[in-house]
Structures are given as C-alpha cells and as structure tokens.
Structure 1
Amino acid sequence: AALAVLLILVGALGATMLVLRAGDRVEAIQLTADIKAGESITDGNIKSVMVNDDSGANFVAWSQREGLKKLQAKSTLYKGTVVVGEMFADKSGMEEGKATVGVSLKEGQYPKGLDSGDNVAVYRVGNKSGGGSGDQDGASGSAGADNSLLVERAVVESAGTSSSDSIASTNLPVTLTVDVDDVPALTQAASAGEVAVVLIPGN
C-alpha cells in the first residue's frame, strides 16, 4: 500500500512538472500580412501569439513592438511568421557586403508603381550595334553585350518622383541596394542610361 501511494505521488509530481514546463510561454509578435524588405511593422500587420520560451529562438516580445516599428525588415517576410530579432535591422544601417547605387530610369525602363522595398532584377538595355566602342565594350561589358542580366535581385530603397526643374525631369531617380560585386557593372550601365528594372517574385 505504501509503495502504491509513493508511485501515485511520483506520477502526480511528474504531471505537475510537465504542466509547469508547458506553461513556460511568452507573448510574441506574429505577422498578419507580408512585409517587404525595407518595410516596418505597424499595428495593422501584427498580432500577439503565445510561443514556447525555451525553444531557443530569439522571439521579439509583444511588449517590444513599439521599438521594432523603428527597424526595417532585412528581407521579405510572410504572413504567419513569428518575428525573431535577426529578421530586422536599423534603418540607417547597411548590411555587410551590400551597397546602394543610384540610377535614373527613363519611361519604359521601370514598371509602374515601383516603390521602396520592391525586389527587382536589373538588366542592361540599349543599342548594341555601336561600332566605335566595340573594343571597349568587349573589354568591360560582357555582361552588357552577351548577358543582359546585371543584378539578379536588388532591393529598391527609394523611387522618387520626377522633378520638373529640367528637361530630364521625365526620368525616375531610383536607389537600389545590391551586392558590392554588382556595383561596377551596374554603375557603368547606369552612367550610359542603359539600365532597366523589372519586378520579380518575392514582392
């Protein structure tokens, strides 16, 4: 009888510990809508959700949501994602290995509605039949002549409206964040006005 009582007590203690462990949960932030790279959370695209605190993930507590609003997403985040700290960075910071490049795009070289946070591919366009600069193009522009894709994925930091101060006001100034390895070819094409961007999956 004493042994039976002891077994019952041990079982009850184990069940209590399991309940206590299961109750070790925290209130975290979950996305209720997709967030593009460079965008921030708002009251309208987040909700509170309970998560296991001992999972090892660096969940952002619900109580820290106001501070998180001051940061921006490093990449596109999708609805249903429970937010962890590594997903966001300071708006003034630049990810290592990245650089920002400014380009001026003519009508037809960008999609309508281009906006900050959009993911785009960058192509080199223009007249390839120029004879006088053939040697120069062959030496430095194989990506432009033989492979028109300059940047597989870039993030639009800003897409300003055209000003009316000059004849060139029809151009759209766009700032792109790209890998540093893509900068030389991109700036060369941009200086010649031979850059076009297209929206790609991930927006």
Structure 2
Amino acid sequence: MKIQERTGAGAGRSAAPGQAPVGDRLPSPPRERKPALAALAVLLILVGALGATMLVLRVGDRVEVIQLTGDVRAGDSITKNNIKSVMVNDDSGASFVPWSQREGLMKLKARSSLYKGTVLVGQMFAGKQQLPAGKATVGLALKEGQYYADIKAGDAVTAYRVGTNASSTPDKSTSPSSGGALVDNARVEHVAEDSDATVSTGSKSVTLLVDEAASAALASAASAGEVALVRVPGE
C-alpha cells in the first residue's frame, strides 16, 4: 500500500521543463545604426586629407635658383654656359640667387673657388676680384711653343724659365739653359688670344694665380719672354 501511495504522489508532480530546441530560438533584433560614429569617421578622413594637402603645398613652395654646371675659380664670373636653373624650397633661410637675376650675377666675381653642383647664394660673389691671402696674379705674354695646345682657365701649371738668359750669372748669360721651375703651384686664371688684325701670331696672354713670394721672379722672367708653361695634375 505504501508503495502505491508514493507512486501516486510522484505521478502528480510536473516534469522539469526541457530546453527549447535550437530551431525554436527567437530571431535577434537588428543592430542599431549609429550615425554619429559614421559622421565622426568621415570627419577624420577629411581632416587627414586636408593635412596631407597642406603638407604637399608647403613642400611645393619652391623658387627657381642658379646651380653651377661647371667649376668657377676665385675671381672669375659665371657665364651662361656653366649655370642652369633648379627648384629649391624657399623655407631654408639661405639667400639663394633667383634665376631671374643671373644677368646681374655675371657682372660679379667669385670670392673663392666654386664647384660644379653648387647652388649659388649672394655671399659667394663680390663686385671686385678678391685674391686669396698670400696669392698674386701675374700676366704672361706667351709665344707659340711656350704653352701647351689646349691651355685654359683652371689648369694647374708649372712655370719654367727658358732661353739664353735663363741663368742669372753674367758669365753664363749666353749659354742656353732650361733653368729650374719658377713656380710649381700656379693656376691659370685667364687665357686670351693675341693676334694681329690680319695675321694670327699664335701668341696668348695668360694670367696666372701664384704664391706671392714667387710673383717677382715670374714677372721678371715674363718681361724677358723667357717663361714656358707645363700642365701638371691638379688637386
């Protein structure tokens, strides 16, 4: 009897509810759109694009200036054959010479030697030729045979004393002599042709930049027409 009563009591209890099948889940609600975030993203993209544009414009703020395509020695002027125009940033603070002022710059002299690739600034030039300390210029009137064939400004040369009066000793004044080197560290500053109006003489006027201590001996030999130039390897 007791067993039956317990069985009847258990039969009256409700069974524990089971989990709903997966196929019976309710659909999730659609995600809520956030227009404020989308607007912020667009704004950030626009700000980035504006910053990039300003950077490009700043980099593009350039000026046309003068650059050397060849070397210019101290005391020389630039020419239309050794310059070109290049674009540089205008925010460097350097006093670049504008390309539009190249004609005026051709009237000035380089304060020191300038080299190919240099972008020119105003401080590199002066109205008058300025010699380096301890240097002097000496002019030579050379005949054919006293200079080599392709002599030109900028060459490094050695000047020798030649001729019958090369020796300073009186009793040897009639003896030909090649003498020693008068100057062994000279630089050709300028070369000009000397010719008669009708007949070419083959002579040249050459200006040398030499050590001041050697200028007197070179000038003395030059006045006697006893100087010959030999090209040597430059620096």
Change (3 A) 1:189 1:5: same
The answer on whether the counterparts of 2:166 and 2:226 sit within 8 Å (CA) in structure 1 is: no
Residue 61 (structure 2) aligned to one of 24, 27, 32 = 24
Q: Which residue of 1 aligns with 2:113?
A: 75
Written as runs of structure 1 = structure 2, the 5 A alignment for 1:86-165 is 86-90=123-127, 92-97=128-133, 98-115=135-152, 117-126=153-162, 130=167, 132=169, 145=180, 148=181, 150-161=183-194
Q: TM-score, normalised by structure 1?
A: 0.62
For 1:172 and 1:41, locate their aligned partners in 2 and report how far apart those are by CA, in whole Å.
22
Three-state SS of the structure 2 residue aligned to 1:55 is coil
Three-state SS of the structure 2 residue aligned to 1:50 is strand
Of structures 1 and 2, the one scoring higher in RCO (CA 8 A, sep 6+) is 1
Structure 2 spans left out of the alignment, 5+ residues: 1-36, 172-178
Change (3 A) 1:131 1:103: closer
**2:78 maps to 1:40:** yes
For 1:110 and 1:75, locate their aligned partners in 2 and report how far apart those are by CA, in whole Å.
24
| Deviation string, structure 1 residues 53-103 (Cα, Å, up to 9, x no partner) | 23344321112122123234553643x54333344443x423343432122
Q: How many residues align?
A: 182
The answer on whether the counterparts of 2:66 and 2:98 sit within 8 Å (CA) in structure 1 is: yes
Change (3 A) 1:174 1:51: same
Structure 1 spans left out of the alignment, 5+ residues: 135-143
**2:216 maps to 1:184:** yes
Change (3 A) 1:29 1:200: farther
For 2:202 and 2:41, locate their aligned partners in 1 and report how far apart those are by CA, in whole Å.
88
* Aligned Cα root-mean-square deviation (Å): 4.1
Three-state SS of the structure 1 residue aligned to 2:57 is helix
The answer on whether the counterparts of 2:157 and 2:185 sit within 8 Å (CA) in structure 1 is: yes
For 2:215 and 2:168, locate their aligned partners in 1 and report how far apart those are by CA, in whole Å.
26
| Superposition deviation, residue 121 in structure 1 | 1.2
Q: TM-score, normalised by structure 2?
A: 0.56
Change (3 A) 1:129 1:173: closer
Three-state SS of the structure 2 residue aligned to 1:176 is strand
Over alpha carbons, which structure has the higher Rg?
2
